[in-house]
Structures are given as C-alpha cells and as structure tokens.
Amino acid sequence: MPGHAYSRLGSFGGAAGAPSPPPPSSSSAQAGSGSGGGSRAPTKGGGSARGAPGTAASATAAARAGVGRGGGVARRAARGVLAALLRRQAVFLFAPLLYVAAMLLYMGSLPLDAVPRIIARRPPGSVYRSPQLYARLRADMDADNSTDALATVWRHTYKGGTWRPCIKNGTNGLPESNGYLYVEANGGLNQQRTSICNAVAIAGFLNATLIIPNFHFHSIWRDPSKFSDIYDKDHFVQHLQNDVRVVDKIPDFIMERFGHNLSNVFNFKIKAWARIQYYKDVVLPKLIEERFIRVSPFANRLSFDAPPAVQRLRCLANFEALKFSKPIVSLSETLVYRMREKSFESDGKYISVHLRFEEDMVAFSCCVYDGGDEEKKEMDAAREIGWRGKFTKRGRVIRPGVIRMNGKCPLTPLEVGLMLRGMGFSNKTAIFLASGKIYKAEKNMAPLLEMFPLLQTKETLASEEELAPFKNFSSRMAAIDYSVCAQSEAFVTTQGGNFPHFLMGHRRYLYGGHSKTIKPDKRRLAALFDNPRIGWKSLKRHLLNMRAHSDIKGVEMKRPNESIYTFPCPDCMCRLNRTEHSKPKHSR
C-alpha cells in the first residue's frame, strides 16, 4: 500500500513495520448502519442520542475502574512490554537473561552452607600414585610369590621357522681406492656405533679407504675414549679386509697437500637420513677430485633403507666386525659368570633391566614425582644447566599429567618392580640392573630391592680394583652393561634410546631371530598405576598379557624406515627351513 512504510520482515511482521489504522468508534458504527452514513441526530443536552440514558451506568463503570486501577496499571504495563517484545521478535534475546536473573535471585535466597561444594579432580597422571599403589597391594603381592616366570617367559614360536646369521664376506679383490674417507662419530656409545657401521657401508659403496673413525668428545658424556679403548681394532680391520680398506691414520703424502691441517680438508655437511643416491651424485665426484674428504658430524647421515649391498656391509660391521676391546670383554665375562652363580635356583638364568632414571633423564622428561618443592627446584636447575632456555620459552606449556598418560615418563625403580612382580617374576629372580647414577638412589631404589633382593649392578658384582680402568669413562661402562645384558635370559627395556634398540637387534642375531625382550606398553602401565581402585589380581592379569605380547613381538621383520640394527631379519639373517617365498629379496 502506498501510504505504508516498507517492512523488512515481510507480511509476517507487517504490524510491526507500519501503525495499524485506528479502530472505528461504536457510535460511528451505529450511525453508519442506521442512517446510511448520514449525520447523527442531536439530543436535548447537546449529547448523543445514547448519552442521556447512559449517565448512571458510566458513573458505575468509572467507580469500578478506580477500585482496580492499581492492579490494572501493572497488568497493562506488563502486556505492553510483552507486546513490544513480541512485535520485535526480541524475546529470544531476553529470555536467557531473564532465566539467569531468576536463578541468581533464587541462589541469593539460599544460605551459603546449603550450596554444594564443587571439588575439582586433578587431571589423570598429574599425581604420582605408584607409592600408594605399592603400599596397598604389597601384602597380596607377597602372598602370590610362587610363580617362576623365567621358566615360561618365552613360549611363542615363529611360524616361519628359526633364523640364523648368514652374512657373507666378500671374496673378490678390492679395486683401486677412490680416496680416503674420514668421519667423526658423535654421541654416546651406541650413537657412535651407528656412525661406525654407516661409515663402513658408505666407504664400501664409494670404494673409499676408511680412516678409523674419530670419536668426538661430547660435553654430556665427557668420555675421551678412542676407538681402540672400546673396540678391538685389529679384529675390526681384519674382518673387513675383503670388503672395505681400513687404515689407522691418513698417509703423510695426502696430508702434505692440506698443510697437515685437517681443517683444510673439504668437509661435507650432510643432512640427516640422506639417501644413498646423494653420496653417489654429490660425494663421490668430490672424493675422486680431492682424494680425501671428511664428514662431520656423521651420526644418522644415511637413511635406514639402502640397496642390498649397502645393507650387507652394515650387517657385517655391526654384528661381526665390531667386537669390544679385550679388557671390556674380560670383565664382562666375569660379571656374567657371577650373575649365573647368583641365579643358581633358576638354572643360571637371570633377567637384565635397562633403567633410565638418572637426574638428566628425569629433568628432560618434565615429569613430576613425589619429591615436592625440593624436586621441582632440582629439576628446574638441571634443565637450565643441560638445556638452557629450552623449557622456559615464552608460550611453552608443560603438562606433566599428559606426558605421563602418553607413556613418556621414565619408569621409577618402584614401578619397574611392580611391573616385574605382576609379570610373574618371583622375589628369588636374579636381576642385573644396567643404568647410570639413579636420581636419589637411596630413596628410589629401596622398594625395588624389597621386591627383588637378588638385584645386582656392575658396581656390586665387581670390585673397585676391577672397575677402576673403566669408572671415569661412560662409554666403556656402558659397553660392560651392554655385554652382561646381551647374555641374560630376558632383557627389559623401560625407556627408548639407542642402547635398547641396538641390544634388541643383537639379541635377535644371537637367539634365532627372537629378541627375548620385554618391552612394556607404557601408556597402559600409566593407566594401571594411576587407577586407585585396581586390585592385585586385575593388575597381574593385565601385566601377564603385556608380557605375552612381548613374546609374540619377539620375532619381527624389518619394515621400510626401520633400523637394520634393531631388525636384522631378513637382511642379516636367513631361515633354517627356507622356502621360496621366505627368501630375502636380495642375494647375499
């Protein structure tokens, strides 16, 4: 209609957009109906024809209106507000506010002691509950001490048959060398081992002469040991003589070209996990041109996957050529003999545990245990010394509970003991513990010794005089641990790292393809140890299943992007009962 304003709400909201026409009066309606729309007839008093006879009735109505005016005004006001809201469709905006206001008025009318208290529960894993669990379950655990898991720990037989080492040495003569390769092996014992084995593989692939790798001194390990202090150098050179030339030092006529200064030699900065093709396309031409190159650092500078010929050299270096030095082998054999003596009740069988609960490991994990403010101060200080500023960057949020429930916290000695007892190992089981200096050892080791009184370390098995040549050298001490763990009936790993990865592979190489390693599911462990209501029987059932899973996963084939040093099958080993479909894809 031309005379009305436009409504954005359409026909549904038209009344809100334009005012309604005023309703016709009753007298006009009657006049219109009686006279066809003519003028109404005047009365004697100047009023309408209905005015005179309705005077008394009007007075009565006015009196009634006056009596109810108070309540009527409130009702009309409420209706007006509601009508306005409905006309503008804003009731949906005000309804939540009205509800909240009503609830506040209601809550304000209650006494404070009647309001229920809301107690916030701490996030899962944010509290270290294992000591309380141990205290609650100890009586049941001690009463259930008759099983001997060592006799039955390994039951699973791999359907494909037993595996055996089958690394073939080269038989053909070596061609003239393309030059000399010098590498610096950085890191701890097993990271250096990675560098050595990869250097052998690269030298063989490039037809280069390998200089005995130099060990880079690291501020963390602080071990100045040389190659010959840890490994048998003569055995290494002799075992590789048909595959890779290895010399002790760089010839003088080569060093004269570089002014007898190693820093003048071209140094390749190779990215981690480089493909073998990179060495062929980039490194080989430079080697032929210069006749001498170096690569520093060299750890993890070769991808896990490589051609069969390269993998064979890796196998040869790790499992055959690298043998610990005679002093390390001699002491290790002595400690193994003493461990078997202490485990005579189990036919000389013992288990080894790699425990990572040193101060730096606890600090790096950012996990919280039961040391309170003192622990927090010590861990903050250790983090600042070891990784200055790494954990205090702006915006970095550390959630210890989440870390624990994700299985990233180092297992405490107490938790290791609970786990092993739950897996069926009695308190008469002999344990060899491989570790560094345990954080707060006197306090934290006490529960583990209560559960396993026959626990030993290299420090308790050997005399001070026997350990003296190795004590201030972390890599040599780690080599002793490695050797004693390799001979155990079962190896238990509690944290990742190069030590368990190399040892699992070595044990597969020694024991027919089976690692004989218990590798717990630390996420499940965290959930079990965080459960305040779990009983001993339920905990033991879960842990026995976990042990059985480790047995099933003992024999595993290497998959793409996995380390040949952890999974030597099928590259370094062959099946005894071979079939055509089980043969490795490459010849040896």
Confidence band for 224, pLDDT divided at 50, 70 and 90: very high
Q: By residue range, what is the domain housing residue 305?
A: 179-323
Do residue 306 and residue 331 come from a single domain? no
Average pLDDT value for residue range 415-420 = 98
Closest among 225, 233, 229, 235 to 188, alpha carbons compared:
225
Indicate the residue among 267, 292, 323 that finishes a domain: 323
Gyration radius of the chain over CA positions: 42
The CA–CA distances, whole Å, from 78 to 75, 84, 91, 103, 391 equal: 5, 10, 14, 21, 62
Please answer whether residues 106 and 98 qualify as being in contact, where contact means their C-beta atoms are separated by less than 8 angstroms.
no
DSSP SS3 for 533: coil
CA distance 458 to 446: 18
> Which range, of 124-133, 354-363, 384-393, averages the lowest pLDDT?
384-393
Question: What pLDDT does 221 receive?
Answer: 66
Q: Averaged over 73-84, what is the pLDDT?
A: 71
311, part of any domain: yes
Domain boundary among 286, 305, 323: 323
Query: Does pLDDT of 312 surpass 50?
Result: yes
Beta bridge partners of 490: 351
Assigned domain for 436 exists: yes
Dihedral of CA atoms 340, 341, 346, 351 in degrees, nearest 10, equals -40
DSSP characters for 279-307?
A: IIIIIHHHHHHHSEEEESS-TT-S-S---
21 exposed, middle or buried (CB, 10 Å; 0-12, 13-18, 19+)? exposed
Q: Return the SS3 of 395.
A: coil
Question: CA–CA separation, 369 vs 414, rounded Å?
Answer: 12
Q: What integer pLDDT is reported at residue 232 of this predicted model? A: 98
Phi, psi of 269 (to 5 degrees): -100, 90
Instruction: Give the percent of the chain with pLDDT over 70.
Output: 78
| Residue 162 banded pLDDT, cuts 50, 70, 90 | confident
CA dist 390 → 7, 334, 381, 395, 396 (Å): 63, 43, 12, 12, 9
User: Please, which residues have CB within 8 angstroms of residue 222's CB and are 6 or more apart in sequence?
Assistant: 474
Instruction: Looking at the structure, tell me whether residues 397 and 307 fall in a common domain.
Output: no
Residues 154, 233 share a domain: no
Question: In the structure, what pLDDT confidence band is assigned to residue 91 with cuts at 50, 70 and 90?
Answer: low
394 and 517 share one domain: yes
Residues 228 and 369 in one domain: no
Average pLDDT of the segment spanning 387-414: 93
For residues 555 and 569, membership in a common domain is answered with yes
> Looking at the domain assignment, is residue 32 inside a domain?
no
- What gap in Å lies between CA 249 and CA 456, rounded to an integer? 41
Regarding whether 241 and 336 lie in a shared domain, the answer is no
The rounded distance, in Å, linking the Cα atoms of 279 and 274 is 8
Domain finish residue from 323, 348, 369? 323
Give yes or no: residues 224 and 332 share one domain: no
- Give the 3-state secondary structure of residue 164: strand
Is residue 360 over pLDDT 80? yes
Largest CA distance in the chain: 146
SS3 state at 351: strand
Q: Is the Cβ–Cβ distance between 293 and 286 less than 8 Å?
A: yes
**Is the pLDDT at 3 greater than 50, yes or no?**
no
**The pLDDT of residue 41:** 42
Q: Does the pLDDT value for residue 62 go beyond 50?
A: no
Q: Rounded to an integer, what distance in angstroms lies between the CA atom of residue 434 and that of residue 431?
A: 10
Expressed in angstroms, the distance from the first to the final Cα of the chain is 97
- The length of the chain, given as a count of residues: 588
Quick one: pLDDT band at residue 119, thresholds 50, 70, 90? low
Say if 376 falls within a structural domain. yes
Q: 529 lies in a domain?
A: yes
Question: In terms of domains, do 360 and 489 share one?
Answer: yes
pLDDT recorded at residue 123: 81
Give 131's strand partners: none
Highest mean pLDDT: which range of 91-100, 121-130, 380-389: 380-389
Residue 409 phi/psi, 5° resolution? -85, 140
Total domains in the chain come to: 2
Residue 119 in domain: no
Domain membership flag for residue 103: no
DSSP state at residue 492: E
CATH number of the domain encompassing residue 241: 3.40.50
Look at residue 69 and tell me whether its pLDDT is greater than 70.
no
Kindly state whether residues 311 and 335 are assigned to the same domain: no
Report yes or no on 405 lying in a domain: yes
Residues 272 and 153 both lie in one domain: no
**How large is the average pLDDT for residues 193-203?**
96
**313, 459: one domain:** no
Cα(407)–Cα(525) distance, integer angstroms:
8
